[in-house]
Structure 1
Amino acid sequence: MEPESGISTAHRSTSTTIGQQISWPRMSRNLLLAYQSFGVVYGDLGTSPLYVYSSTFSGKLQKHISQDAIFGAFSLIFWTFTLIPLLKYVFVLLSADDNGEGGTFALYSLLCRHAKFSLLPNQQAADEELTSYKYGPSSQHASSSPMKRFLEKHKRLRTALLVVVLFGACMVIGDGVLTPAISILSSVSGLEVTENKLTSGELLLIACCILVGLFALQHCRTHRVAFLFAPIVLIWLFSIFSIGLYNTIHWNPKVVYAFSPHYIVKFFKEIGKDGWISLGGILLSITGTEAMFADLGHFTTLSIRLAFAFVVYPCLVVQYMGQVAYLSKNPDKIHYSFYNSIPESVFWSVFVVATLVAIVGSQAVITATFSIIKQCHALGCFPRVKVVHTSKHIYGQIYIPEINWILMILTLAITIGFQDTNLIGNAYGMMLVESILFSYNYYCFQVCQVKKKVCFIKI
């Protein structure tokens, strides 16, 4: 509904807004979208326990393995997982959507609509796909911050900001190439733990076949893929939660002490300067987090928050805790820590689910890549491509055939070229760009406050 003018409508609008928020039809729709989001958004984040600890203590860091170091690694993972995905993304960054769209270019679009420093032709008709460019009464009177005035006066800084935005978009697309490779390779690596070990060539062939099948499924509608993949992810999350809880109780219940940040200090004292190298492995615990924001156009903010806060977050924290409890008693099993920590009675069941969820995990960044490409195209930063809208109800659910097949070719090249999850894992690190852009939004233009004021005058 369009905003109405006049103070007399404010109270009625506020009551209507509150009534809409608690209405059952709206809540049931958000719960349904939360269920679908498991099949699209959280597969990548959910597969991170497959390779985090082995990457953290890879190479020369293996000589530093001790109980304090392992506990410290878990403490680092826990606080990283809490501060970035939970606090930064779920509670803060998801509020900065641009007309329902998320991602790097959505943040840049918000900046351009609240300041006069855009270097892109963002007043063209095509840009209405990305943003409505409607200003509420509050946004017209928003206070101009010193940083806003400073940026508007210096064209070089505006150019640098645009370069950062384009770099962030490139990193999202690059993540869409790297994540399928590392997820699939990590899942099939479980076959190296079994008695009848396969050769590296056979494992590589299996991984490539799975990747081809994954990209071949992308032409299906997003909600169909979501309904197909969501049960797999839910089974996986509850499985790793149960295994993590079992390992914690069976091997070392004292691992709960590692929630204390004190063990982070002990971690760096134990490992020394090599501890900074291990942070690359710690970062892998939050790979796929950016998909929560980039895939926002495919779902709703509330649905993504519900799914992460009540299911994904507790399941992954318990799984990481259980792996540490196992490793504290079996430090020599660090290389395949996840598969080694699985009880033998359920190994093959978990392996099959892990392989399936690794396929699902790649879906998050592939879908996010489609969204980013669409936003780039809307702002004139990408060549014309065919965008297929796969839903009549949610505008952001799209499929881009050319991008899908290009991603498949590049992913196969990465998989065949590297053949090592540790090498691929070193290429991650894109969330810094979104942090910079959100900081600009917060300090320069107070976007969230403006949106909150505008919503109280809507019916």
Structure 2
Amino acid sequence: MLLSLQSIGVIYGRLSTAPLYVFGSIPIKDLKPDESAYEYFSFIFWTLTIVSLLKYAFLVLRADDDREGGPFALYSLLCRHAKVGLLPNDTSANEVIQYDVGIPFKTKLKSRVKWGIEKHKHSHYLILFLALFGSCMVIGDAVLTPAISVLSASSGLQRLIESLTCKASSTNEFVSKEFPRYIPVPVACAILVCLFALQHYGSHKIGFIFAPVIIIWLFLISGVGVYNVFKYDRQIIRAISPVYMYRFMRNNINMDRYRTLDSVILCVAGSEAMFADLGHFSRKSIKTTFISLIYPVLILCYAGQAAFISHSVSQKNLNHWKDFNHLSESVPLHIRHVFIVLSLLASAVGSQATITACFSIIKQCLALGCFPRVEVIHTSNKINGQVYIPDINWLLMVLSLGVTIGFHDTAQIGYALGTAIVLGMLVTTCLMSLVIALYWEKSLFVSASFLVIFGSIEAMYLSSCILNFHKGAWFLVVLSVFSWTIMLAWHYGTQKKYEFDLQNKVSTEWLTDLSPVLGVSRVPGIGFIYTDIVTGIPAFFSHFITNLPAFHQVLIFVSFKSLPVPFVSPNRRYLIGRVGPKENKIFRCVVRYGYCDGVKDTDDFEEQIIRSIGEFISLEENDLESLTSPDGRMIVVGKLMSAGNASRPLQVTSNMGSTSFTNSDTEINEQGDSCVRRKKVQFLLPANSPQMQTTVRDELQELIDARESGTAYLQGHSHLAVREGSSFLKQFLIMTYGFLDKNCREPHMALNIPHAALVEVSMVYVV
């Protein structure tokens, strides 16, 4: 019930405010006294029923990817279960990082269809294209929806002022040219700025703030709908018959009014957000709220508005009205002032669904290496999908303001928005049919039926959108090409880098066999090597050894891996293993963290890693078989407290030239209240005990000595270069990737490494 209440304010504000501009974006000349209002309402009723209710609420919501939704969630399902992803699938890495945290790595038996799609590489590129294209439509929707929703509500304020001016001048007619039309744009811009400024509070708080507004709005529009049906035209209920849709198609073969279906598709604006926002809430809350509240309220609202329009077009003395098809005109006069104010608030809330959906899509793209690195802030400790991305939020605000100021017309924005909606739905339909066949393993008949039934409806609306391409839909194309280029270039560059890392990683034997040949020397200290791969030795380190034959007495290969859980228990955070025989003193550490775990500061991180390796050395001798993972390489070691068996930290704090020593087994955070205060962590072995073997004590002592000698941090820094004679497309993608890589955020694994101890190893990847 709590999630259902929040979903009203976040997800369903979009669907609930669509009546503001669905009928209002239909040209007045196309509303004729020939039951045209009945025909449009019939289309709205069946579109809401088939697309929003049947397709999304009952079918698509079942295809979640670990409680995430959207086109990239469907693509992620296909990548894992049908192996259509273009990034090399390192199965061993998945098994390592998911070991012992309750996330089993599952595979299914192959069917003929799955085998055929996995075999043909072209199908992989086509599926990726669909996923990227669908994500671009969600981003475009997030830009256009706030603009059209707020601008449409502001236009209602404009009409209210016009009516008051008419009364003040005691005139019965009003010519719109005599009144300045500048009021909606500044009001809309002010509301947009406030809307995007609230996003940092997260879906949880925003849902509670916005839900009362939408609930009052739903009761108001449903009441107005019932009032209009009984007052103006009770026969409007007959319009649910599909016969009226047939009449519309029969009478508009010449495409005279056929293009107005571009406005009708706006009635399901927000249905895609039901699926894309799945990570912010739950499937049950979204489905229950839509079936029991949103769907019947929208039907009543559209029925009442259609009844008012049907009555208005039959009255010749009302033909001089401007925008009588706007929702505000169907509201009784004595509550119209309240309606205008509430519509302004609801329109701002209605944009929330697409904004949060955009955040979810960007997060999924980041996980699959299809978007440049941006800061993702998780606003909930319980629900993974509730995220806020500051960089994207402010970019959406700038673009929405630009659309509002540039177009300042709901009709033109509606043409672009309708195209974005129907294209996004078509992508979901195509990907969903593949999920039915490849993941759910249903018959081809079931998959094809889903594609034909829903795809044909959406294709009909797409054809009407294409007819209005020159009237505003061109902006969506420009925005989509820009977004799609960024995503494609980043994915291509990431793919090439990852392929290079996997193909050029070397074995431990290479390092040990090459050392005598090159005369590699071991220098005192500990070297932390940061790498994305969890098996083998990364290529940049072999490049470093080949050109500078020396490395530290103790090497630790560190990999950060995110898991789809809120927190990883401190005693299950580190996976420690050896690389090669004991005498090499080379270790591997996989740091597993949840999406709400913060990255530790350098001093604390270094302390925990060294203590974990010390504990690993101690446990390795005593109970290897019960503590190692199935592949026999890693031991789960957590954040150690006073019960640790290996070493104890000695905290050395220097302040104003004086030095004090404290012996502590707990984590001590530096307050940083003085710039001259410094902290250095040393380690001591516990007192001699019969439980610790001599060989273990000697190795631990060597680890402590290496720590005292100093620490260095090595990171790979790759540069992609295009091979001579490559195509223009390849050169453009690599150039775009290089620009994005230089200007996006640094990897989180960089931590707060001091520059004096950081060594970046640059490599040129020729692709």
The answer for the alignment partner of 2:134 in structure 1 is 168
* Inter-partner Cα distance in structure 2 for 1:350 and 1:248: 18
1:58 aligns with 2:58: no
Partner AA of 2:6 in structure 1: Q
Identify unmatched segments of 5+ residues in structure 1.
Answer: 1-30, 450-459
Shift of 1:155: 0.8
Shift of 1:160: 1.4
Shift of 1:335: 4.7
2:309 and 2:325 in contact (8 A); partners too: no
Shift of 1:153: 2.0
* Inter-partner Cα distance in structure 2 for 1:211 and 1:261: 39
1:252 and 1:325 in contact (8 A); partners too: yes
Of the candidates 428, 433, 436, which is equivalent to residue 439 of structure 1? 433
1:94 aligns with 2:64: no
Shift of 1:202: 2.3
Distance 1:64 1:356, change over 3 A: closer
* Inter-partner Cα distance in structure 2 for 1:133 and 1:115: 19
* Inter-partner Cα distance in structure 2 for 1:447 and 1:174: 33
The answer for the alignment partner of 2:338 in structure 1 is 349
1:215 aligns with 2:169: no
Shift of 1:154: 1.5
The answer for the alignment partner of 1:245 in structure 2 is 226
The answer for the alignment partner of 2:153 in structure 1 is 187
1:204 aligns with 2:193: no
1:323 and 1:341 in contact (8 A); partners too: yes
* Inter-partner Cα distance in structure 1 for 2:44 and 2:30: 20
TM-score of the two chains, using structure 1 as the length reference: 0.85
Equivalent residues in 2 for 1:291-310 (5 A)? 291-310=273-292
TM-score of the two chains, using structure 2 as the length reference: 0.52
1:188 and 1:355 in contact (8 A); partners too: yes
Shift of 1:149: 2.6
Of the candidates 4, 9, 13, which is equivalent to residue 43 of structure 1? 13
Matched residue pairs, number?
409
Partner AA of 1:291 in structure 2: A
Distance 1:268 1:119, change over 3 A: same
The answer for the alignment partner of 1:454 in structure 2 is none
Distance 1:63 1:82, change over 3 A: closer
1:64 and 1:270 in contact (8 A); partners too: no
Shift of 1:63: 4.4
Q: Secondary structure at the match of 2:86?
A: coil
* Percent identity of equivalent pairs: 46
* Inter-partner Cα distance in structure 2 for 1:278 and 1:80: 14
Deviates more, 1:212-221 or 1:114-123: 114-123
* Inter-partner Cα distance in structure 1 for 2:301 and 2:31: 23
Identify unmatched segments of 5+ residues in structure 2.
Answer: 166-178, 314-318, 444-767
2:30 and 2:257 in contact (8 A); partners too: no
The answer for the alignment partner of 1:407 in structure 2 is 396
Q: What CA deviation, in whole Å up to 9, does each residue of 1:167-210 have, x standing for no partner? A: 11111111110000000001111123222467322221111011
* Inter-partner Cα distance in structure 2 for 1:105 and 1:438: 11
Point out which structure has higher relative CO (alpha carbons under 8 A, 6+ apart): 1
Distance 1:326 1:439, change over 3 A: same
Equivalent residues in 2 for 1:142-157 (5 A)? 144-146=111-113, 148-157=114-123
Q: Secondary structure at the match of 1:46?
A: helix
The answer for the alignment partner of 2:407 in structure 1 is 418
Task: Provide the aligned C-alpha RMSD in A.
Answer: 2.1
Shift of 1:114: 1.6
Equivalent residues in 2 for 1:7-156 (5 A)? 31-55=1-25, 57-58=26-27, 62-63=29-30, 65-120=32-87, 123=90, 134=104, 140-141=108-109, 144-146=111-113, 148-156=114-122
Partner AA of 2:144 in structure 1: L
Partner AA of 2:288 in structure 1: L
* Inter-partner Cα distance in structure 1 for 2:88 and 2:67: 21
Distance 1:156 1:186, change over 3 A: same
* Inter-partner Cα distance in structure 2 for 1:447 and 1:393: 32
Shift of 1:70: 1.1
Q: What CA deviation, in whole Å up to 9, does each residue of 1:408-430 have, x standing for no partner? A: 00110111111111111111332
2:77 and 2:439 in contact (8 A); partners too: no
Of the candidates 243, 256, 260, which is equivalent to residue 237 of structure 2? 256
1:96 and 1:447 in contact (8 A); partners too: no
1:122 and 1:379 in contact (8 A); partners too: no
1:64 and 1:271 in contact (8 A); partners too: no
Deviates more, 1:292-301 or 1:65-74: 65-74
Shift of 1:65: 1.8
Partner AA of 2:235 in structure 1: K
* Inter-partner Cα distance in structure 2 for 1:223 and 1:274: 46
Distance 1:421 1:448, change over 3 A: farther
